[in-house]
A and B are shown apart, each in its own frame.
Chain A
Amino acid sequence: MKWLESNLDLVWELVLAHIGLSVPPILIGFLVSIPIGWLANRYRPSRGVILVVLGLLYTVPSIPLFIFMPIFLGTPLLSPVNVVVALTIYAVALMVRTAADGLASVDDDTLLAASAMGYSGWQRFWRVELPLSGPVLLSGLRVVSASTVSLATLGVIIGVQSLGYLFTNGFQRNIPAEVVTGIVATLVIAVVFDLLLVLIGRLLLPWSTPDRRRKATRRTTPALVAGGVS
């Protein structure tokens, strides 16, 4: 606690650096994986190829991936871009499968009904497919968020500032409190991100969340639900 009190500025600065490293991969990963996931479902042969390639990319361990980045990007080894791009690759590799599964989970009859009502393919995607696959996408995004926040600590190995600095510095200076601070701060960021995602989910997908409300409705107005889908 004493260590934390005298180093609050450092910790705060690292927290901001850590958020700066982990937010872009989560957002870009999400945006990129939806079209790729759609593509994976659209054509039969593309699904296998896309999922296998991304599976192999995900197999590349994180520290080597950081070290490979300068070769592909031409960036200096110590550049934060290496970490952001590597984490984005992981985010995409994780998220595409979920996106493909989520989009595939939308009931075919629903899609046919939308087409029958006159939706064009483009409108149907935005107004029917995407919102209905929302809950699955959200669950995938939560996994991506947690693993990205945790992996960003490893940036310190190639000299990129993040909360991982508290681990290596704490080790070199033999201060366990510093390491514990790093772990707790990482977990706090992960939890805050998770809560934010859940909150965004509640706002954008109000129909998907509370089970309680549905049960309550059933109890008070059984007649309404009786003939409905159970």
Chain B
Amino acid sequence: MNLVLGGIAWILDPANMNGPSGWIARLLEQLGYTFGAVAIAAIVAIPLGYAVGHTGRGRDIAVAFSGGLRALPSLGVLILFGFALGIGFKAPMLTLVILAIPPLLAGAYAGFEAVDRRTIDAARAVGMTELQVVGKVEVPLGLPLLIGGVRSSVLQVVATATLAGYIGGGALGTFIFQGAATRNYDMMLGASILVTALALVLEGIFALLQKLVVPRGVVATGQQNVRARSSRSRAVMGSPIQEGK
């Protein structure tokens, strides 16, 4: 129990809290990495995922790609990029972007695939153009699964952003590596508590968001009816917890 108190005392000490190398600044860096990497990854992955989901082409490649990346050790990738790009924020950012892509891609195409084929046929039958089918039917109905992808992507990135400290990229991991080097368990524990708290808060926010983005029409007619079954086999995307990290 004394160990825990040491960690909490470290967090509460104003000397560790403020200033450019205090934990508040480091926490903001961690958030910056998280949202920066997820935003960049989203620009790449979401249109690609939508294209896969809409046309049904390239799904096997997307699945294999997501699965293969799971086994890639992020620390090794980070250090390799560190050699190429030097120390600083670039190498961690690039590593995190790569890490953020698979869940986003899976969320985007699984969202499209989950839409009942009859709903899409109906949309075409009432004269919607292909673009309208995508924009007015598939995107809104696929939104909950896409947010699920964003959620697991954020969760994975916020955890891994801790590694940035290893190559001088800042963020909360700085304290963990510094603590490990100087045998300062309080510092390691304090930073660990902060990283965990940050991850839990983000997870909570996204869980809430995921509930809020279900389109009103879907709620009104009962979620089961509109998107319960798809005639296409569903992608093995898994809920946010099933993604590796």
Contacts and interface: CB of A to CB of B under 8 A. Distances in A.
A213 to B, nearest CB: 19
A179 B176 contact: no
Contacts of B167: 171
A63 interface: yes
Contact of A186 (B71, B240, B244): B71
Interface string A63-79: 11001101100000100
A67 B192 contact: yes
Given A153-B73, A167-B73, A146 B244 contact: yes
Given A68-B192, A143-B244, A146-B244, A164 B80 contact: no
B162 A63 contact: yes
Interface in A125-173: 139-140, 143, 146-147, 149-151, 153-154, 156-159, 163-164, 166-168, 170-171
A225 B117 CA distance: 28
Contact of B70 (A146, A156, A166): A146
Q: Max chain A CB contacts within 10 Å: which of B4, B73, B155? A: B73
B180 A179 contact: no
Contacts of A97: 239, 241-242
A183 interface: yes
A63 B80 contact: no
A190 interface: yes
Contacts of B177: 157
B189 A67 contact: yes
A163 B162 CA distance: 19
A183 B76 CA distance: 6
A49 B173 CA distance: 31
A98 interface: yes
A93 B73 contact: no
Interface stretch (B139-147, B195-203, B223-231): B195-203
Nearest to B155: A59
Interface size class of B (residues with CB under 8 A): 35 or more
Nearest to B236: A139
A58 interface: yes
A61 B180 contact: no
B157 to A, nearest CB: 10
B150 interface: no
A21 B70 CA distance: 18
A61 B162 contact: yes
Contacts of A27: none
A171 B79 contact: yes
Contacts of B73: 150, 153-154, 163-164, 167, 182-183, 186
A54 B180 contact: no
B79 A61 contact: no
Contact of A63 (B76, B185, B192, B241): B192
Interface in B15-66: none
The 5 closest A-B CB pairs, nearest first, are: A147-B244, A61-B159, A64-B192, A190-B71, A183-B76
9 contacts: A56-B200, A59-B203, A61-B162, A61-B196, A154-B73, A159-B180, A167-B75, A171-B166, A179-B76
Interface of B: 3-4, 67, 70-77, 79-80, 82-83, 155, 158-160, 162-163, 166-167, 173, 176-177, 180, 185, 188-189, 191-193, 195-196, 199-200, 203, 236, 238-242, 244-245
